[in-house]
Amino acid sequence: MSWGRHIAPGQDNRKLPEVQVVISPLHPTRNSPCLAVLQALEDGLKRADADPSVKAVTICGENGKFSAGADIRGFSSPNKQGLGLGPIVSLIERSEKPVVAAIEGIALGGGLEVTLGCHYRIAHVQARMGLPEVTIGLLPGAEGTQRLPRLIGVPAALDIITTGRHISASEALKLGLVDEVVEENTVEAAIRLANRLIGQPLGHRRLSLKPVPKLPNMEAFLTEALVKVKKRAQGCLAPELCFQAIKAATEQPFADGVRKERELFNILLTSGQAKALQYAFFAERAVEKWTTPSGASWKTASPQPIRKAAVIGLGTMGRGIVTSLVKAKIPVVALEQDLEYLNTGRKAVMLLLEREAMKMEQGGQTLDFNNPARLQFAVDFDVLRDVDLVIEAVFENMALKKEIFNKLSRICKPEAFLCTNTSALNIDEIASVTSRPQQVIGTHFFSPAHVMRLLEIIYGRHTSPTTIATAMQLAKVMKKVGVVVGNCFGFVGNRMMFPYVQQAVFLLEEGSRPEDVDQVLEDFGFKIGPFRMSDLAGLDVGWRSRKDQGLTGPTLAPGTSARQRHGYRYSPLPDLLCEKGRFGQKTGKGWYQYEKAGGRTAKPDPWIHSFLSEYRDTHQIKTRFIDQEEILERCLFTLINEGFDILAEGIASGPEHLDVVYINGYGWPKHRGGPMFYASTVGLPNILAKLQKYSEIHPDVPQLRPSAFLKKLVAMGNPPLNDWMSYLHRQSNKL
Ligand SMILES: CCCCCCCC/C=C\C=C\CC(=O)SCCNC(=O)CCNC(=O)[C@H](O)C(C)(C)COP(=O)(O)OP(=O)(O)OC[C@H]1O[C@@H](n2cnc3c(N)ncnc32)[C@H](O)[C@@H]1OP(=O)(O)O
């Protein structure tokens, strides 16, 4: 931080003296001396106040960035930061000399709270503002929950604080969060304004002295708002506590509201949820720095530019992928096998794009998709000659994919990248039919592809670092989180999902009902339990895959035991449902019943209950009561156990990768940090002990047998998650 006299350029000859206070940089370094920044700000203000030659103050950031707020790592250090900013904001507000904030770049969190203490705020047209504390499990604890509603009213403050969303300068101006938006030099504009304000009364600009603007029916508004906040939060504490703090602003004087804010902030700060959310923040950034076991890395690989892309197949996935590419402003050719499929696909894509355009318009943005240079539909592979990258998104069938890749290899220009959207198939086998396996890569999108943030990026044996870097860059441009993983059946996400779903089905065999299992996992925080998920995705998808694997259907060897495959436990329950045409929502019946085919409201189905009971009788399974703890442990611990195997095999380069996959692709509750982070909070010895217990009871379920890597970590003394990977190749004499 620096401070000094500042004479605004282009001023009149009176040359009014003032102070420019420069505050914290955009990216606080790891151990950013935040307290030092605060101290310097306080000292600067006090000196400005004491110096009679100083008539006004402007506060701005360094290098064209106002502030990204506190260094998030500081919240988990013993000397927790953030608590000291409130009094400084008050100090700014109390200043008898006008204080103007010059907001450039970003003003987030504590940074924005500083501006709320200022008497005026000027923002650059490209600046973004927000109070994202809720996203890291906190609330704006420097009196922000008390000042913002006084400035812009309760509904807008509630929206900004409970969602943590960033807003543009133009929206900030509309809301009254800033007084002026400028296109030129913001600091100079702020200095000019500060000079004009010298000697003018400031009382009405001190937000702590203002009442919260009234609403015709504040109580009813708040009641309704709380329901919405809780629904969105799905077990996450921070949004509700943000709400409570804002409610306090509507009911209590400023000082009491600040006390309440502090009390709520401390609850959040010491909650495990804040720690988990802050871990998730850094995990998402850590996975950008990908590496592979062969030594390829983000540091040395450079992405190639993608000027034009193609998508093959306009089914559900292809439509979403095309929409994402158009939104990312990448010209795209959408290809289908014949005109009939093309027309159906085109209509669906246009509908998606129209909806997206409408959403974007609300945020003041436009989406240009009616331009053939941006989006072209075709049935002829010849149009793919000049594209830089193709994403194949056809049916999950190896023979079909190989046929397409062979064709692509012959038609596309030699430097084009060939991506396959698959959720499980072998990338090497697909690449083997091309003459450029180094440019073949898996890009596993999640449905709906234009909404879901995860992109699993799967490298094969021959995939080049440039290809990985290009796919990662594509993910970034599409505003997705790319996670680089190795090639194995189901990759990371589905491979971990398999034992989870398998346990859920075994629990039904033993005595649970679908709604019991779903409830436990939804109470844990999953957006949707495994059976509701299966009904949504369609039971026929897994059925087809099991038929392909010879686990069921006509290729199954005669005399195979109904509940065993290859000597291990198998449940035919999902197959039996499919044989009865119960594919889930699409047929109106699955694990639940629906109001009609395509219906969305799942209702427990008495038919399923009696079907399960008959099934247990047939197979002489004694129905038993299964408690919530067992449901949770068997489903989650087998998923986590698979995660340890994945790490040990080098399929993912760290636990953060698995966590980012699960948070962004599988509805894992972010406030629990992802499955591997959750495992670290439960304690690896506890997980191991439970797996051992369940494995003894169910010796024919290999997924319950503790992973060797998990055992090793326990033997090594349950090290912190950050250190796990360093134990992978260390010898343990305790094993
Ligand atoms: C004097 C007044 C100023 C205020 C000083 C602070 C005083 C503290 C007192 C009060 C506390 C108040 C509460 C808070 O402020 S909580 C923090 C609120 N802020 C945030 O949540 C912002 C989080 N950051 C982001 O949203 C983005 O990083 C963004 C700033 C928008 C930049 O995005 P982008 O350009 O895409 O860059 P990256 O996200 O990849 O980030 C680059 C690297 O910077 C690291 N980073 C970013 N923000 C923080 C942060 N707040 N704390 C610690 N580290 C941060 C990020 O991890 C990347 O690191 P690396 O390169 O190692 O991966």
For ligand 1, whether the C-beta of 261 sits within 6 Å is no
Q: How far is CA 412 from the centre of its chain?
A: 34
Q: Could you tell me the two tokens for 234?
A: 């799905």
Instruction: Provide the H-helix boundaries in 370-443.
Output: 398-411, 427-431
Please tell me the distance from the alpha carbon of residue 538 to that of residue 527, in angstroms, as a whole number: 17
Closest ligand 1 atom, residue 289 Cα: 63
Q: What is the pLDDT of residues 207-232, one digit of tens each?
A: 999 999 999 999 999 999 999 999 99
- 113 given a catalytic annotation: yes
Q: How far is the CA of 505 from the centre of ligand 1 (A)?
A: 43
Whether the predicted pLDDT of 731 surpasses 80: no
Closest ligand 1 atom, residue 132 Cα: 21
Q: Could you tell me the two tokens for 255?
A: 């000082």
For ligand 1, whether the C-beta of 285 sits within 6 Å is yes
Q: How far is the CA of 257 from the centre of ligand 1 (A)?
A: 27
Q: Of all protein residues, whose CA lies closest to atom 41 belonging to ligand 1? A: 27
| The predicted structure's pLDDT at residue 370 | 86
| The predicted structure's pLDDT at residue 517 | 98
Q: How far is the CA of 109 from the centre of ligand 1 (A)?
A: 9
Mean of pLDDT over the chain: 93
Give the per-residue SS3 of 702-720: HHHCCCHHHHHHHHCCCCC
Q: What is the pLDDT of residues 175-210, one digit of tens each?
A: 999 999 999 999 999 999 999 999 999 999 999 999
Q: How far is the CA of 72 from the centre of ligand 1 (A)?
A: 7
For ligand 1, whether the C-beta of 107 sits within 6 Å is no
For ligand 1, whether the C-beta of 108 sits within 6 Å is yes
Q: Is 80 or 214 the better-scoring residue by pLDDT?
A: 214
Q: Which of 285, 299, 660 to mutate to test the pocket of ligand 1 (most atoms within 8 A of CB)?
A: 285
Q: If pLDDT is split at 50, 70 and 90, which confidence band does 106 have?
A: very high
Q: Of all protein residues, whose CA lies closest to atom 52 belonging to ligand 1? A: 71
ipTM of the complex: 0.96
Q: How far is the CA of 193 from the centre of ligand 1 (A)?
A: 29
Q: Is 44 or 616 the better-scoring residue by pLDDT?
A: 616
Q: If pLDDT is split at 50, 70 and 90, which confidence band does 365 have?
A: confident
For ligand 1, whether the C-beta of 106 sits within 6 Å is yes
For ligand 1, whether the C-beta of 127 sits within 6 Å is no
Q: Of all protein residues, whose CA lies closest to atom 8 belonging to ligand 1? A: 70
For ligand 1, whether the C-beta of 41 sits within 6 Å is yes
Catalytic residue among 18, 93, 104, 113: 113
Closest ligand 1 atom, residue 66 Cα: 3
Q: Of all protein residues, whose CA lies closest to atom 23 belonging to ligand 1? A: 68
Q: What is the pLDDT of residues 560-589, one digit of tens each?
A: 999 999 999 999 999 999 999 999 999 999
For ligand 1, whether the C-beta of 142 sits within 6 Å is yes
| The predicted structure's pLDDT at residue 25 | 39
| The predicted structure's pLDDT at residue 457 | 98
Torsions phi, psi of 538, nearest 5? 105, 120
For 356, what's the count of Cα atoms within 13 Å in the CB-facing half-sphere? 22
Please tell me the distance from the alpha carbon of residue 104 to that of residue 619, in angstroms, as a whole number: 69
Instruction: Provide the H-helix boundaries in 451-586.
Output: 465-477, 493-510, 514-524, 530-537, 539-548, 573-579
For ligand 1, whether the C-beta of 144 sits within 6 Å is no
Whether the predicted pLDDT of 44 surpasses 70: yes
How far separated are the first and last CA of the chain, in Å rounded? 54
Label residue 252 exposed, middle or buried (CB < 10 Å: 0-12, 13-18, 19+): middle
- Could you tell me what percent of the chain has a pLDDT over 70? 94
* Over residues 65-79, mean pLDDT: 85
For ligand 1, whether the C-beta of 157 sits within 6 Å is no
Q: Are 437 and 420 in contact (CB under 8 A)?
A: no
Helix, strand or coil for residue 335? Answer: strand
Q: Could you tell me the two tokens for 233?
A: 């939060």
For ligand 1, whether the C-beta of 345 sits within 6 Å is no
Q: How far is the CA of 536 from the centre of ligand 1 (A)?
A: 37
For ligand 1, whether the C-beta of 68 sits within 6 Å is yes
Q: How far is the CA of 584 from the centre of ligand 1 (A)?
A: 43
Catalytic residue among 133, 171, 188, 656: 133
- 642 given a catalytic annotation: no
Q: What is the pLDDT of residues 386-444, one digit of tens each?
A: 999 999 999 889 999 999 999 999 999 999 999 999 998 999 999 999 999 999 999 99
Q: Which of 21, 26, 27 to mutate to test the pocket of ligand 1 (most atoms within 8 A of CB)?
A: 27
Q: Of all protein residues, whose CA lies closest to atom 9 belonging to ligand 1? A: 82
Give the per-residue SS3 of 175-242: HCCCCEEECCCHHHHHHHHHHHHCCCCCHHHCHHHCCCCCCCCHHHHHHHHHHHHHHHHCCCHHHHHH
Closest ligand 1 atom, residue 131 Cα: 18
Q: How far is the CA of 322 from the centre of ligand 1 (A)?
A: 32
For ligand 1, whether the C-beta of 111 sits within 6 Å is yes
Q: How far is the CA of 524 from the centre of ligand 1 (A)?
A: 29
Q: How far is CA 274 from the centre of its chain?
A: 15
Q: Are 124 and 206 in contact (CB under 8 A)?
A: no
| The predicted structure's pLDDT at residue 8 | 31
For ligand 1, whether the C-beta of 517 sits within 6 Å is no
Q: What's the pTM value of the predicted model, to 2 decimals?
A: 0.93
* Domains present along the chain, CATH in parentheses: 12-270 (3.90.226.10), 309-485 (3.40.50.720), 512-618 (1.10.1040.10), 628-727 (1.10.1040.10)
For ligand 1, whether the C-beta of 114 sits within 6 Å is yes
Closest ligand 1 atom, residue 282 Cα: 57
| The predicted structure's pLDDT at residue 10 | 29
Q: What is the pLDDT of residues 666-718, one digit of tens each?
A: 999 999 999 999 999 999 999 999 999 999 999 999 999 999 999 999 999 99
Find the Cα–Cα–Cα–Cα dihedral 474, 290, 130, 41, rounded to 10°. Answer: -140
Q: How far is the CA of 476 from the centre of ligand 1 (A)?
A: 18
Please tell me the distance from the alpha carbon of residue 479 to that of residue 630, in angstroms, as a whole number: 38
Q: How far is the CA of 470 from the centre of ligand 1 (A)?
A: 26
Q: Are 325 and 375 in contact (CB under 8 A)?
A: no
Q: Of all protein residues, whose CA lies closest to atom 44 belonging to ligand 1? A: 27
What type of residue is 269?
Answer: L
Please tell me the distance from the alpha carbon of residue 632 to that of residue 629, in angstroms, as a whole number: 5
